[in-house]
Each structure stands twice: as C-alpha cells, then as structure tokens.
C-alpha cells in the first residue's frame, strides 16, 4: 500500500500497530484526538476528532487501507461513546465511500457478544448480545460496516477482539487472550487476501480454552500461533477462582455484564 491509516494510534492497540505495521505501506498516517508525540520517519500525524465529519474526510483522503482502533475503548457515558463510536464510525464510512473505498480493519469487541454464557460456543453467525453501551456501539459499527459493504462494496474485517495484552491478566483471559503477534498477523492477512468481503472474525489466539469458532474465515489465511495456556499456572496462582454465579465466571464479557450504565452528570457536578 502507498498509505495506511491507523486511527486511535495513541491507544494501546494503536501503539502496537504504529510500531509494527511500518512494513505494510510506504507511509503510515497515524491519528488520534491527542497525544501522538513526534512524527517518525515514514509517518504522517494528524490530530482528529472522529465526531467531526469534515476532519475525518480529510483524514481518509489518499489512504489505501484503514486500521480503525479509534474511539472510546471502555464503558463510558452515552454522550462520549456516541460521539466517537457512533457518529465517528458513520463519518469514517462516509469518508471511505467518498475516497475510493479503502479496505478497513474494524476493531469490534467481545463486548458486542458479552452476554453469551461462557459455556456457549459462538461462530460468525452468532447474533449480538452486548453487555453495555460500549458493546452496543460496536454492534452499531459492525452493522454500519455490513451496510456499506452491501451498498457500496467497502470491504471490512469486523474483528471482535478478545483481550489483547502482552499476556493474559486473569482467568477469563485464558479464553479471550489475543497476543500482539497474532494481532499483527491478523491485520496482515486482512490486507493481503485478494477478496475479503465483510466477515466477522474473532480476535483470539490459539488458546486451549476458547469460546469462539473462526472456521468460516479460514479463507483469509490467518493461523494464530500463541496459546494462553502457557500462562495458566501463573494466572491461576495470582487469583482465586470466582464464584459460580459471578459475572466474571458466567458471561463471555465478564464483569462488564454486571456494570451499571454510567449516568450523564450535569456540567460542574
């Protein structure tokens, strides 16, 4: 590619992408609402609020592909989530439509299906069961991607990312962990496969314990290599098992399923 856009490049996964995707394009255009630091060789940096449609259109111009990590990445008030994750995803797809239909890696989330029980196995056809407003916003983003694919031909990988850290941090992550190496190899496959379409892909490593089936997307050629079982003894030694009725044990989204809606607070309170 000539130019690859990474949104949310100041965040955790965006930082990984910024460091490790330099081989994929002549130029990385990296963007966030703030905190990008110095522009590195082979980069363009652009500050952008995803809720600003005109700014997003300028952001997407000239890009051959988009890795979309931008937006609110945790539960928050609806006003904050809606600006970045709802208005923002509409702005991104409108900009893509106006600027040559670049292929998109859309970072959805396991919280789009977080109210499924941990004893249920899901595949690409499993319907949404969000566990909070953040999860709802990812359902919206997946639906937006599908509509723009069907209406305008924009190809998107709708990647329901599990838990992408250097290593699993708790017992639930023994099933949901996605290593950073496996994340990078997934992004590579998304932009190399000749025909992508608009698939749902579960962003999860080759863990012994896993709730998600990616067999429907074997055509993209992604074969995760890492396994959370390597860390099982360490994780289990660091924490007691949760009670059987604890949301961390019951639901695939873990304790997100039990969190209350965060209420809007008046200015100054």
Token pair listed for 128: 């949404």
Q: Which residue has the tokens 């074997």?
A: 218
Is 193 part of any domain?
yes
- Distance separating alpha carbons of residues 81 and 69, to the nearest angstrom: 14
Residue 151: partners with Cβ closer than 8 Å, 6 or more residues away = none
pLDDT of res. 267? 65
The secondary structure of residue 259, as a DSSP letter, is P
* Number of independent structural domains in the chain: 1
- Domain contains 268: no
pLDDT recorded at residue 239: 87
Whether 267 is in a domain gets the answer: no
Choice among 134, 148, 202, 251 that is catalytic: 134
Query: Sorting pLDDT into bands at 50, 70 and 90, what band is 26?
Result: very high
Radius of gyration in angstroms for the set of CA atoms belonging to the chain, rounded to a whole number: 18
Residue 64 in contact with residue 96, Cβ under 8 Å? no
Between CA 230 and CA 213 the distance in angstroms is 21
- For residue 257, the model assigns a pLDDT of 95
Q: Which domain holds residue 50?
A: 3-258
CATH number of the domain within which 130 lies: 3.40.50.720
DSSP 241: P
* 202 classed as catalytic: no
64 assigned to some structural domain:
yes
- DSSP assignment, residue 218? G
Residue 269 lies in a domain: no
Q: For 135-186, what is each residue's pLDDT tens digit?
A: 999 999 999 999 999 999 999 999 999 999 999 999 999 999 999 999 999 9
The token pair that represents 160 in the structure block: 């329901």
């Amino acid at each position: 590619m000539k130019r690859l856009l990474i949104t949310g490049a100041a965040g955790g996964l965006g930082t990984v992408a910024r460091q490790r995707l330099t081989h994929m394009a002549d130029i990385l255009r990296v963007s966030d609402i703030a905190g990008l630091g110095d522009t590195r060789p082979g980069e363009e940096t652009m500050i952008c609020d995803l809720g600003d449609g005109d700014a997003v259109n300028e952001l997407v111009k000239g890009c051959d592909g988009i890795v979309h990590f931008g937006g609110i990445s945790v539960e928050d008030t609806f006003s904050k989530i809606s600006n970045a994750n709802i208005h923002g995803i509409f702005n991104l797809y409108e900009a893509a439509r106006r600027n040559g239909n670049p292929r998109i890696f859309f970072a959805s989330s396991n919280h789009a299906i977080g109210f499924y029980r941990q004893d249920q196995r899901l595949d690409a056809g499993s319907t949404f069961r969000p566990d909070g407003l953040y999860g709802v916003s990812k359902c919206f983003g997946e639906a937006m991607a599908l509509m723009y694919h069907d209406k305008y031909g924009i190809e998107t990988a709708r990647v329901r990312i599990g838990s992408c850290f250097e290593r699993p941090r708790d017992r639930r992550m023994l099933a949901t962990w996605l290593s950073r190496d496996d994340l990078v190899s997934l992004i590579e496959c998304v932009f190399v496969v000749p025909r992508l379409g608009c698939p749902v892909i579960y962003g999860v490593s080759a863990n012994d314990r896993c709730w998600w089936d990616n067999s429907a997307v074997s055509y993209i050629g992604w074969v995760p290599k890492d396994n959370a079982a390597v860390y099982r003894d360490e994780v289990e030694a660091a924490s007691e098992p949760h009670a059987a009725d604890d949301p961390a044990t019951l639901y695939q989204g873990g304790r997100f399923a039990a969190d209350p809606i965060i209420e809007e607070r008046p200015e100054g309170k």
